[in-house]
Structure 1
Amino acid sequence: MPTGFKDWLQTLYVLLTFSAVLCFGALKSVLVGPIAGLILILGNLGVILGLFPAHVAWTVYTLLKTHKFDVPLKVAILLGLPALFGLWLGLSIAGSCLVGVGYGFFTPWVSSFEAFRLEDESKKFYHCLVDGTWGVIKGSCTVVRDFADLCYYSYPNYLKELRENPVSNELQPLRFIHVPACIIVGLMGLIVEIPLYTAIAIVKSPYMLFKGWHRLLHDLISREGPFLETACIPIAGLAIIMWPLVVVGSILLAIFTSFFVGLYGSVVVYQERSFRRGVAYLIAMVAEFDEYTNDWLYLREGSILPKPRYRKRKPSSASEPSVGRNQSIHERFRSIFPEAHGVHVPTLTASRSVRETIKEVKMVQIWGSIMKACEVRGMKLVEAGVITQSDLSDWLKAKHSNDGPVVGTGLPCFSLLHSLLDSIQSGSNGLILFDGTEVNHLNRPQDRLLDWFFQPVLVLKEQIRALQLEEGEIRYLEKVLLFGDKMGRAKSWENGSFVPHDALRAAQIEGISRRMMGMNRSVAKFPTYRRRYRHVVKELMAHAGGKGSSTMSVTRPLVKDGSMNSSTEKDGSVRSMSSRSVASIDIV
């Protein structure tokens, strides 16, 4: 058969299949979407309205009890709380409705096309029928649960840290003369930023629409980017059809972000002690947004709008990144206003192929590996009697993670420590996960949440490497991480540790433990973390109740490709995992 005729038949088959799946996906969206959307919307509304009185009480109580703010600043925050809570109600309810409609309608549709990625041809039709039905309904319930964890656990934990953290004793003063200025600039920010951001986004939306279609059609004709694999052409075709919705979503995202950009003007007034610089900030942010969108859409460079300077001095690297001449507008925008990371317009550059994307480590893989490491290492500690059943029960019953520190903070930090030691021993430039996968700057997920922790974890790894810990010092660090200030529990655990004689070295080890605990408390505020970690603790409870006397043998490669030998020691001060023991048991 001629090659041209084969290509024509293949193209016709793809187009017919695409049309059929498009219609079938729309049918599933009509049938499943209302159920999933209502579950998500009504569930989130119940959480928002049900916990609203508690949120008000917790916030006011924390504001009155904290020593971080002086009386004038507390008065200013109290005056602004009604507006902030009103903004929270409005945005959270509107956001829940939009997410519910979007998730319920589009997820079944997209799931039908995801079946094309399967290699087994016999299962494609089955998954095209099944995917996006019951799984979407379960997913909407999971979203509601995660949102409830965020409102009921994460927010109170943050407030409790604000009340009890020693750092909060650093008094932040505010003169009464600055209170009206903060309020006025905050209101001006809402009045100025929201309509101007909206106008800029709407005016430039036609450019984004047609340039996006041009980019996608160019990839389709030249078979580049998402169109490189034939199996993914239907999915990319769906992207062409749905591109107008992406444009609308970008407009809504710009409007949503403008609320926070405008309110941040009050913070600038407080930081700079100047009403004029707060107004200058509002003007500069409009120009920055205009320049930012110009750069994304490949329009004229810069902005015709004025950009007054609103900082008295160049901020230090500890607070805000410096802005260099050779930085791109993306970097300049993020450095000038790091809180406005949400102001995004999807990039129109040529996208990578599916095969290139698959090489990345997915965020769900990292979460799964972290939880599996906690589960396996926790079972070893349970078998050794280091973690008791009462510790697990205390965490499950506790409202705050600090109420069950051995399980809530100690076990995750203990697991992270051994992951870092594995990475040091293997000589990795990144982080070795529990399943042996190496995550580095080349294959790490491009996720905003990971950005906050990936580099600090690597810095912590290098600090541990530089200390060149001896075996007994590693054991001492394990004790500090697991038990903290519970000295009785720490002394009863004979794991071969010793306290360094050098006071400076002991302080360095304790400093590392405090940084690891701080990272874990920050990660524990993520809603998905509590749901996943609760499952791990329940597994440990079952193990402690019925399998506490059993032994477990878990083997795994040190890295995914097996190119590094686990018996090779890259650092003489850090032993291989086979030579380290925890309470006379091997932690792998």
Structure 2
Amino acid sequence: MEVPIGVLAKLWSFISFLPFFSLLLLLGFLKAVVIGPIVAVIVFIGNSAVIIGLWPAHLFWTYYCVIKTKRLGLTLKILVLVILPVPLVLWPVLGILGSLLLGIGYGYFSPLIATFEAVGEHVVDKLYHCFTDGCWSTIKGACTVVSDFLDVCFYSYFSYMDDLSEKIADNEMPFDVKLSKIPGCFLVCLLAIPIDVPAIIILAFLKSPYMLLKGWQRLFHDLIGREGPFLETVCVPFAGLAIILWPIAVIGAVVAASICSFFLGLYGGIITHQEDSLKMGLAYIVSVISLFDEYTNDLLYLREGSCLPRPNYRKHPKHSAPPERNRPSEQDKVEINDNLRLTSNRAKLAPQRSRSLMKAIHQLEPIQIWDWLFRSCELNGRMLMSEGLISLADIEECIIIGRCKKLSIRLPAWCILRCLLRSAKSDSYGLLISDGVELTDFNWPKDKVLGWLLEPLLIMKEQIKGLNLDENEETYLRKLIMTYNTEKLEDWDDSGFPLDDNVRRAQLQAIFRRLQGIVASMSRIPGFRRRFNNLVKALYVESVNAASSNQAEAMLKSRKKNNILLGSREDNKHNRKERSISLDIPKSSCEFV
């Protein structure tokens, strides 16, 4: 679409936009009034039932796993057992209150946003979708929220606790604290709460008016000039919605800063224990206020740094060296950024700001990574089923009994391993997740959970690249990771793996162990179990259809074979009958003929 140029054109664009936006806002508000209470009740009652129903099991299993674990030393274990009643008692209260707020927010804002999304450029029959979008989908989304919350409370939580209670290796030392350090840590925590918490809350309140005015100025500028994130027609209605809801976002930021201030202050006790110095803990109490001030300055595009004092609270600052891999040079980075900008036809119209719009456009979303992973699991699952590495019994065991450890860990692990192998062979800087899509530091989703996975995967890719595996070895790796226990070297001999070098086997074994650990962590993320169960059900339907078609083909072949045999038997009977008739004819008649 054309961007209005000039004061009059921008003013007319703004005036003509007002009635359009007002009607959409009124319609979305009416839908939210009808759908919101229903969704709030579903989320509140569903999550509350899960919390209350599983709370006795959580209470018992938490204490059991903490007592059983060898990962914690005796002192730390006693300290955890003493502190545990506080979070266990607060969990039902905070969980039920959070469920209520989540239900209200999701129930009222989802229909409102769906109404504005219905006027997108690629939406057919906009009038129909304006009235229907966000109604039934929001109710189904509320049920999905309760289902994912149940998976987290029932499966993910117990999985974490099972990992805590597992046996540790002989060379692994348990986490523990020294009794001599506890008084200093406790003192720092007592001082940090009355100092850091009020200071951080005051800074958040002082900067909230600037955040409110700065955000309104940016939104009004983008709305009137159709610039920035509101260049697209579909995004224009969201400008007015964002202007109205921006004060709520500012209040939410202040509340989040107030909540985080407690954790930032209590972290001083950890600093005191790590550095074994009360002086370093006291220095952290002063420094954390300056760190928060600098972070908010960067967030609001204010001056860099902070005028507040920041003493050093580390005796030996740790500088993590970057991993050894093919990092692009500065010239390559410039070329990549230029290519990203040139791929958009509207790059010339976008304003030059500190946060480039092109980076926002080409930044991959977490949902895209999940879509690729489950699509890859579906395709590889079909292939592994045809090869017999995944049987119908494995799928039935996952669906009926609920034992999905083999499929939910090994199948995604093999999919990611194939991605690593393909990326290593192509000598790419990042990860090739599909044709023409490479996952790098530039387009990796700005998600903390997924961000923890990028660096280990890139390191494993470089390790695999150094091993230089051939196709025969890759074929056996697929069989090994899906059928055998990769942690036992004896199973490598039984699988027929053609590699006799125990050093390379140990390297691959370490890669498999880390890869399965990453997948195990991914399986605990909300939504993973639901999507994987849907994938397994789809594979089950395909396997049943394939088995029935194979059975039908076998029956058809056997029927044809029986028809052939029956026909040959009839021919034999007919021939025998003719021979018997010819034998009954008298000789005289034969002579007469």
Distance change >3 Å, CA 356–CA 188, structure 1 → 2: closer
CA distance in 2, matches of 1:446, 1:250: 18
CA distance in 2, matches of 1:55, 1:318: 40
Alpha-carbon offset, residue 108 of structure 1: 1.1
Alpha-carbon offset, residue 264 of structure 1: 2.7
Residue 547 in structure 1 maps to residue 549 in structure 2: no
Q: In the TM superposition, what whole-angstrom CA distance separates every residue of 1:476-535 from its partner, at most 9, and x where no partner exists?
A: 3223322342889968997xx524122211111212211211111111110111111111
The partner residue of 1:220 within 204, 219, 223 is 223
CA distance in 1, matches of 2:510, 2:133: 48
Q: Counterpart of 1:519?
A: 518
The partner residue of 1:266 within 269, 272, 286 is 269
Alignment of 1:396-435 (within 5 A): 396=399, 404-434=404-434
Matched-pair contact (CA < 8 Å) for 1:387–1:406: no
Matched-pair contact (CA < 8 Å) for 2:43–2:99: yes
Q: Which shifted more, 184-193 or 212-221?
A: 184-193
Alpha-carbon offset, residue 357 of structure 1: 4.6
Residue 56 in structure 1 maps to residue 59 in structure 2: yes
CA distance in 2, matches of 1:67, 1:428: 42
Identity across matched positions, percent? 41
Residue 476 in structure 1 maps to residue 476 in structure 2: yes
CA distance in 2, matches of 1:464, 1:550: 40
Alpha-carbon offset, residue 422 of structure 1: 3.1
Q: Counterpart of 2:555?
A: none
Alignment of 1:72-83 (within 5 A): 72-83=75-86
The partner residue of 2:316 within 298, 313, 317 is 313
Matched-pair contact (CA < 8 Å) for 1:48–1:89: yes
Helix, strand or coil at the partner of 1:433: strand
CA distance in 2, matches of 1:284, 1:201: 16
Helix, strand or coil at the partner of 1:284: helix
Q: Which shifted more, 384-393 or 465-474?
A: 384-393
Q: Counterpart of 1:466?
A: 466
Alpha-carbon offset, residue 24 of structure 1: 0.8
CA distance in 1, matches of 2:196, 2:99: 23
Alpha-carbon offset, residue 138 of structure 1: 1.0
Q: Counterpart of 2:450?
A: 450
Alpha-carbon offset, residue 182 of structure 1: 3.9
The partner residue of 2:143 within 119, 128, 141 is 141
Alpha-carbon offset, residue 365 of structure 1: 2.6
Distance change >3 Å, CA 493–CA 200, structure 1 → 2: same
Alpha-carbon offset, residue 209 of structure 1: 0.4
Distance change >3 Å, CA 356–CA 187, structure 1 → 2: closer
Alpha-carbon offset, residue 390 of structure 1: 2.7
Q: In the TM superposition, what whole-angstrom CA distance separates every residue of 1:137-183 from its partner, at most 9, and x where no partner exists?
A: 11111112112211211121112112215359412232333344444
Q: Which shifted more, 183-192 or 168-177?
A: 183-192
Distance change >3 Å, CA 484–CA 278, structure 1 → 2: farther
Distance change >3 Å, CA 454–CA 109, structure 1 → 2: same
Helix, strand or coil at the partner of 1:527: coil
> Where has structure 1 moved over 6 Å in runs of 4 or more?
3-9, 486-494
CA distance in 1, matches of 2:409, 2:246: 44
Q: TM-score, normalised by structure 2?
A: 0.78
Give the aligned residue type for 1:533: F
CA distance in 2, matches of 1:356, 1:236: 20
CA distance in 2, matches of 1:226, 1:91: 36
Q: In the TM superposition, what whole-angstrom CA distance separates every residue of 1:403-462 from its partner, at most 9, and x where no partner exists?
A: 644212111111112222333444543333357643334444333332111232222222
Distance change >3 Å, CA 395–CA 267, structure 1 → 2: farther
Helix, strand or coil at the partner of 2:174: coil
Alignment of 1:14-163 (within 5 A): 14-120=17-123, 122-163=124-165
CA distance in 2, matches of 1:349, 1:356: 11
Q: Counterpart of 2:591?
A: none
CA distance in 2, matches of 1:543, 1:227: 44
CA distance in 2, matches of 1:530, 1:243: 34
Alpha-carbon offset, residue 73 of structure 1: 1.2
CA distance in 2, matches of 1:201, 1:107: 28
Give the aligned residue type for 2:292: F
CA distance in 1, matches of 2:99, 2:499: 53
Matched-pair contact (CA < 8 Å) for 1:383–1:550: no
Distance change >3 Å, CA 308–CA 48, structure 1 → 2: farther
Matched-pair contact (CA < 8 Å) for 1:265–1:282: yes
Q: Counterpart of 2:577?
A: none
CA distance in 2, matches of 1:272, 1:398: 49
CA distance in 1, matches of 2:459, 2:283: 36
Residue 387 in structure 1 maps to residue 390 in structure 2: yes
Distance change >3 Å, CA 536–CA 229, structure 1 → 2: closer
Helix, strand or coil at the partner of 1:177: coil
Residue 172 in structure 1 maps to residue 171 in structure 2: no
CA distance in 2, matches of 1:78, 1:307: 35
Matched-pair contact (CA < 8 Å) for 1:424–1:465: yes
RMSD, aligned CA: 3.2
Matched-pair contact (CA < 8 Å) for 2:222–2:229: yes
CA distance in 2, matches of 1:472, 1:63: 45
Residue 503 in structure 1 maps to residue 506 in structure 2: no
Matched-pair contact (CA < 8 Å) for 2:377–2:412: yes
Distance change >3 Å, CA 91–CA 318, structure 1 → 2: farther
Give the aligned residue type for 2:130: C
Matched-pair contact (CA < 8 Å) for 2:117–2:234: no
Alpha-carbon offset, residue 9 of structure 1: 6.8
Q: Counterpart of 1:202?
A: 205
CA distance in 2, matches of 1:419, 1:477: 14
Alpha-carbon offset, residue 210 of structure 1: 0.6
- In structure 1, stretches of 5+ residues that fail to align are 320-347, 552-588
Helix, strand or coil at the partner of 1:432: strand
CA distance in 2, matches of 1:476, 1:469: 11
CA distance in 2, matches of 1:209, 1:513: 49
Alpha-carbon offset, residue 23 of structure 1: 0.9
Q: Counterpart of 1:578?
A: none
Matched-pair contact (CA < 8 Å) for 1:183–1:266: yes
Q: In the TM superposition, what whole-angstrom CA distance separates every residue of 1:528-566 from its partner, at most 9, and x where no partner exists?
A: 111111111222222333324879xxxxxxxxxxxxxxx
Matched-pair contact (CA < 8 Å) for 1:423–1:432: yes
Matched-pair contact (CA < 8 Å) for 2:35–2:107: yes
Matched-pair contact (CA < 8 Å) for 1:395–1:408: no
CA distance in 2, matches of 1:381, 1:357: 37
Helix, strand or coil at the partner of 1:438: strand
CA distance in 2, matches of 1:537, 1:217: 48
Residue 288 in structure 1 maps to residue 291 in structure 2: yes
Q: TM-score, normalised by structure 1?
A: 0.79
Alpha-carbon offset, residue 89 of structure 1: 4.1
Give the aligned residue type for 2:44: I
Distance change >3 Å, CA 548–CA 314, structure 1 → 2: farther
CA distance in 1, matches of 2:117, 2:433: 27
Distance change >3 Å, CA 502–CA 458, structure 1 → 2: same
Matched-pair contact (CA < 8 Å) for 1:73–1:179: no
